[in-house]
Amino acid sequence: MDHNSKIWVSELNARPEIRSAFPHSTVHFYDTTLRDGEQTVGITLSPPQKLEIARKLDELGVSRIEAGFPKVSPEDAEAIQLMSKAGLKAELWGFSRAVKGDLEELVRLGIHATVIESPTSDIKLKAYGMSRDEVLGRVVDAISFAKQTGIKVAYFAVDGTRTALDFLKTIYLTALEAGAAEIVVVDTLGACGPEAAEFLVREVRRWVGSEIPLHWHGHNDFGMATACGVAAVRAGATWIQGTINGMGERAGNSDIGEIALALQCLYDIPVALNLVKVREVSELVCRQAGYTLEAWKPLVGDNLFMRESGAVATQFHIPEAIEPYSSELVNARRSIVLGKKSGLDSIDLKCKELGLSISLEQRAPILAAVKKRAIAKRGLVSNEEFRQILAEAARRRASPK
């Protein structure tokens, strides 16, 4: 890898048999934080909060924002009206079941594009008490009505990854014939591994042809949502549906930031997302929704560019030795923190950061004091505590023996 770049991943990613498997068209992102993301247990976003998040998603470069499900939520209708007046560059999309009433509400609100969903797996059809013929009829009626009213449709096959392939092919082709413009491959329960995701997207691409925009909508029940999203792109998906921070029901949705980072850094695939803005948007969504993230979460975690280990601190001046991509790529700050695992270089770096100076012989006793303080509090030593340790050391040196 070019050490002058901001990406320092393994050269194995660039092997021809890996890189050539990917189409190199730009991948776009369809954000559903405001609809599927809000389905996170305990999360409720007000219309003004949704507007603020939508503005940030627009700055992030998200191509489409799923604004809500207004038929079942008057608050979503209000939020859509606010967003419609906000002058966003991103397209506003609605969400609808294969039900005429849902679409009539989108028409009333002036929404010109929507996902239309219906169950397709036998287990989902059984749960809803519907037959295959009945769901086919509903899909045709809903998409035909949407087309008549000038609404663009992406057909969304709920539980598609657990649907019999022959029926999934039938309903996708039926949806296209009825007027759907795009197709969504949906892993509703995160039930696919990346190999299965790649197989299914490749099959669907073969069924619908090369011109139909193809989406992947994944969930993270087995911790594979990012891997499955990458696999879907490798198989021909040009749109990734997901949320900020991967929020959503159960283990959450695909995290659009993680997938964008992986595609760009590991495979050099162009993405329509500004990675510099992701951490800022993540922080806003956390604040508005009232939750916190694991400090070690990829891309947005607090720990990613924070170093406590003394062994790592010795390499801090060479970022590519301890990080796979530059903090500048995602507008993060690199820092040294002090704790039980710190070393002598950690002390030197922290002194330099705070504009403090100590002699060489002071380093070891100060490090010992830092470790003692960290163990006692079972946590990190703050900058103020470090200053106190230095002050105490100075007083001891100044006191008569």
Q: Kindly state whether residues 314 and 225 are assigned to the same domain.
A: no
Largest CA distance in the chain: 94
Q: Kindly state whether residues 336 and 361 are assigned to the same domain.
A: yes
Q: Cα(272)–Cα(27) distance, rounded to whole angstroms?
A: 6
85 inside domain: yes
Return the CATH number at 100: 3.20.20.70
Q: Cα(3)–Cα(7) distance, rounded to whole angstroms?
A: 8
Domain termination site, one of 244, 261, 289: 289
Q: Check residue 2 and give its pLDDT.
A: 45
Q: Kindly state whether residues 198 and 268 are assigned to the same domain.
A: yes
299 inside domain: no
225 inside domain: yes
Residue 65: how many other CB atoms lie within 10 Å: 25
267, 13 in Cβ contact below 8 A? yes
3-state secondary structure of 252: coil
First to last CA, the chain: 57
78, 96 in Cβ contact below 8 A? no
Domain termination site, one of 289, 319, 345: 289
Q: Kindly state whether residues 209 and 325 are assigned to the same domain.
A: no
Q: Check residue 400 and give its pLDDT.
A: 61
Long-range contact set of residues 371-380: C-beta below 8 Å, sequence gap at least 24? 371/339, 371/340, 371/342, 374/338, 374/339, 374/340, 374/342, 375/340, 379/339, 380/308, 380/337, 380/338, 380/339
The total domain count for the chain is 2
pLDDT in tens, the chain (401 residues): 444 589 999 999 999 999 999 998 999 999 999 999 999 999 999 999 999 999 999 999 999 999 999 999 999 999 999 999 999 999 999 999 999 999 999 999 999 999 999 999 999 999 999 999 999 999 999 999 999 999 999 999 999 999 999 999 999 999 999 999 999 999 999 999 999 999 999 999 999 999 999 999 999 999 999 999 999 999 999 999 999 999 999 999 999 999 999 999 999 999 999 999 999 999 999 999 999 999 999 999 999 999 999 999 999 999 999 999 999 999 999 999 999 999 999 999 999 999 999 999 999 999 999 999 999 999 999 999 999 999 998 888 887 65
243, 32 in Cβ contact below 8 A? yes
133 inside domain: yes
Residue for token pair 């009433």: 101
Q: Check residue 3 and give its pLDDT.
A: 42
225, 254 in Cβ contact below 8 A? yes
Residue 318: how many other CB atoms lie within 10 Å: 11
Q: Check residue 291 and give its pLDDT.
A: 96
**How many alpha carbons lie under 13 Å from residue 233 in its C-beta half-sphere?**
31
Q: Kindly state whether residues 256 and 114 are assigned to the same domain.
A: yes
Domain termination site, one of 261, 289, 317: 289
Rg (CA), the chain: 26
Beta carbons within 8 Å of 319's beta carbon, 6+ residues apart: 8, 326, 327, 334
Q: Check residue 1 and give its pLDDT.
A: 41
What pTM value is reported for the model? 0.94
Q: Which domain holds residue 25?
A: 11-289
Q: Kindly state whether residues 92 and 174 are assigned to the same domain.
A: yes
296 inside domain: no
Write the CA distances from 202 to 210, 216, 376, 394, integer angstroms: 11, 11, 56, 68
Q: Cα(301)–Cα(19) distance, rounded to whole angstroms?
A: 28
301 inside domain: no
What is the helix (H) or strand (E) element at residue 342, kind and residue range? none
Q: Check residue 101 and give its pLDDT.
A: 97
Q: Kindly state whether residues 63 and 190 are assigned to the same domain.
A: yes
Q: Kindly state whether residues 213 and 361 are assigned to the same domain.
A: no
Q: Kindly state whether residues 267 and 386 are assigned to the same domain.
A: no
Q: Kindly state whether residues 379 and 266 are assigned to the same domain.
A: no
Q: Kindly state whether residues 73 and 216 are assigned to the same domain.
A: yes
Q: Kindly state whether residues 236 and 335 are assigned to the same domain.
A: no
Q: Cα(156)–Cα(169) distance, rounded to whole angstroms?
A: 13
